[in-house]
Amino acid sequence: MTGIRAGSNRGGRGDRTQDGRVWTLWSTRPRLPHCVAVSLVLRRLATAVPVILGVSLLTFWILNLMPGNTALSLLGADATAAQVAQLEAELGLDRPAIERYLEWLGGLFKGDLGRSLASGQPVSSMIAERSAVTLELVMLAVVLSTTLAVGMALLAARRPGKTADRVGAVMGMIGISTPSYVLAIVLVLAFAVNARLFPSIGFVPIEESALGNLRSLTLPTIALAMPYFGVCSRFVRGDLVEQMESYGYITTARAKGLGSWNVLLRHALPNSLVGLVTVIGLNLGPLIGGTVIVEQIFALPGLGSLLLQAVNVRDAAVVQGIVLVMAVVTLLATLCVDLLYMLLDPRIRYGRR
Amino acid sequence: MAGADALQAGAEAPSPCRFVLAQVTGPLDVAIPAAILLLILVACFGLPAAVGLPSPVGGSVLEANLPPFSARHLLGTDLNGNDVLSRIVHGGQASIAIAVSVNVIGLLLGGTIGAVSGYLGRFVDALIMRVLDVFIAFPSLVLVLAVAQGLGGGVLNTIWSLSLFSVPAFARVARSATLRVRGQAFVTSAELSGGGPSRNVLRHVAPNIAPQLITFALLGVGVVMVIEGGLSFLGFGIEAPRPSWGNMIAQGQQGLFTRPSLVLLPSSMLFLTVLSCNLLGEALRRRWSAR
């Protein structure tokens, strides 16, 4: 307790923390000491630059390994050699790979991702057009899975080994063992074909109708969220049960006469949230990758389906751009997770480790 | 003293057969998933040889879309007239072969990289971890997709492209396990008695990180199966006429409303296999970490 009080003298509103009170999520307004946060951000950005360069070099190299000829696949199988050579010259594909990579990299610094080989449109505007759907889908899936996971874990940890715990364990196991494409098809079969509650394919933009938008994203969100839910709920449940069984502050809280919900919500859960944030961050990569499959099944016009189209016509510029954007988003999300981690963990928040 | 006990037990445990037997005859949390996995393995690799199933490809259109329990086709035929049971069995072979090889490659290559990186520390460690960060940084499915398209379909190429992300994952696990072992007295004493790094990693570090890597591999088999299925589902991975659970699901999706069983059969096989792998890995992890 003393650590919090000593630290809170520097922490603005935090110094209203009452003496002897265990830190909880709702009792104090977390404040970042700016120097710690800023140095974290700077350090992360410094390591992110080589990682992103590596990612882009790797994809460029892989895309150049692709057998078959981009120009040929754009023109169709019966193009003459002269036509192919002409198109290659137009697209700049006849130049050495390293030259093209450096040029692409140079454009990147000016915010230019190049032009699509297939359609000639600027890649950045193609990505901007498609990313809203994917972003909405990912956010909905994260919110749905973590809310469900925390709720389920609370029910389970209140009475470990009882019905709710078992149901939660089975649901979690089913969640991590069900591929999203299998779940998606089962959902379509159940809710779009037999019950006709949700559309099976297509997307309604939010400007058109908010309800329609949610309805069109319901099944994709569930399909994407289930595996994620499994991972999160198993983690939170394990963490909560461990705290409830073996930590002194829980015993103290119980001895004060608090009910089990109070103990769980105010004393155990805030501590588990710190770990949960890390788990969420670690699993964002697979989640974003999973949108490729889910968007394909539900015919959503997002980044994933754009990527698939581009890979199929060997449109290297678009693939390169999407991979880069996804890598940057994943890295930024991990950074946000670390900042959130600081907000949630008072020891880090007050600059004490 | 727990360490001494473990050492004693390790010295006394003689044959691998008896070790496996001891794992299986314990509580049912290991035995049941292991039995299901064994059943699936026997069905996929033994059935074609034992009963002579029809070929999984090149069926005749005259026999297309037969219902289950038809003569000669126990589970019926799909829209191309191929025997569904035979396709499921052969698809299973491909899925299992890929998932196991990817994890063996990851275990050996990634395990070595991680153990060496964690053991040597300093510059080597920093360099290796930076390279691995590149692979771990972004959505693996996206990378695998690009690589799979680059290399083309087929079992071998799918194995290579999936290994590209199983290796870094194993290296991560092996490295953190090595770091934990690294500080312990027996490693220091091995160093002091003059063993070189390669000998120490092989004889002292490897046996200690093995249980963790093996349970990770079991969970990994499930993960790889899901991703392989996803690749084949999207039309990369195993290419169309050859069966895999993933591309069977994709194919069956077109006739989802008229014959859902074409989707549900391979889906449930995939689900059952992945579930058993997860349950087995989970049970072994519980058992080995309790010791």
- The predicted pLDDT at position A76 comes to 67
Shortest Cα–Cα distance, A190 to chain B (Å): 11
Among the residues of A97-179, which ranges form H helices? 97-109, 123-158, 163-177
- The predicted pLDDT at position A143 comes to 92
Count: domains in chain B: 1
Residue B58: inside a domain: no
Ordered DSSP codes for B89-150: HHHHHHHHHHHHHHHHHIIIIIHHHHHHHHHH-HHHHHHHHHHHHHHHHS-HHHHHHHHHHH
Residue B102: inside a domain: yes
Residues in chain B, total: 291
Residue B131: inside a domain: yes
Q: Is A188 on the interface with B (CB under 8 A)?
A: yes
- Asked whether residue A144 carries a pLDDT value surpassing 90, the answer given is yes
- Residues B218 and B215: their CA atoms lie apart, in Å, by 5
- The predicted pLDDT at position A8 comes to 37
Bigger pLDDT: A339 vs A31: A339
- The predicted pLDDT at position A5 comes to 38
- Asked whether residue A25 carries a pLDDT value surpassing 50, the answer given is no
Confidence band for A106, pLDDT divided at 50, 70 and 90: confident
- The predicted pLDDT at position B9 comes to 45
- Residues B127 and A274: their CA atoms lie apart, in Å, by 29
Measuring CA to CA, how many Å separate B12 from each of A105, B6, B9, B92, B203? 60, 10, 5, 39, 18
Q: Is A12 on the interface with B (CB under 8 A)?
A: no
Q: Chain B neighbours among A 277-306 (CB < 8 Å)?
A: 285-286, 288-290, 292-293, 296-297
- The predicted pLDDT at position A27 comes to 43
Residue B61: inside a domain: no
What are the phi and psi torsion angles at B72 (to 5°)? 70, -15
- The predicted pLDDT at position B80 comes to 72
| B278, two tokens | 């997860």
Identify the contact set of chain B against chain A, taking CB-CB distances under 8 A. 130-131, 133-134, 136-143, 145-147, 149-152, 222, 226, 229-230, 233-234, 246, 249, 253, 256-257, 260, 263-264, 267, 270-271, 274-275, 278-279, 282
Residue B56: inside a domain: no
Bigger pLDDT: A43 vs A15: A43
- 3-class SS shares of chain B: helix, strand, coil, % to 5: 75, 0, 20
Q: Is the ipTM of this complex over 0.85?
A: no
Nearest by CB to residue B139, choosing from A180, A285, A312, is A285
Residue B57: inside a domain: no
What are the phi and psi torsion angles at A115 (to 5°)? -115, 150
Residue B241: inside a domain: yes
Residue B244: inside a domain: yes
- The predicted pLDDT at position A21 comes to 43
Positions of chain B with pLDDT under 50: 1-12
- The predicted pLDDT at position A36 comes to 67
List the CATH number of the domain containing B118: 1.10.3720.10
pLDDT in tens, A250-299: 888 888 888 888 888 888 888 888 778 878 877 777 788 888 888 888 88
Percent of chain A beyond pLDDT 70?
80
pTM score of the predicted model: 0.77
Which residues constitute the domain of residue B230? 3-51+68-290
- The predicted pLDDT at position B105 comes to 92
Percent of chain A beyond pLDDT 90?
3
Nearest by CB to residue A181, choosing from B139, B222, B249, is B249
Spatial CA neighbour of A226 closest among A157, A279, A180, A168:
A180
Interface with B, mutate which of A47, A61, A62 (most B CBs under 10 A) = A62
* Cross-chain Cβ contact B146/A59 below 8 Å: yes
pLDDT in tens, A189-247: 888 777 677 777 777 777 777 777 788 888 889 999 988 888 888 888 888 888 888 78
| Amino acid making up residue B149 | Q
pLDDT in tens, B63-87: 666 677 666 666 777 777 777 888 8
pLDDT in tens, A91-104: 766 677 777 788 78
pLDDT in tens, A58-78: 777 777 766 556 666 666 667
Measuring CA to CA, how many Å separate B99 from each of A68, A127, A278, B226, B247? 28, 33, 28, 9, 16
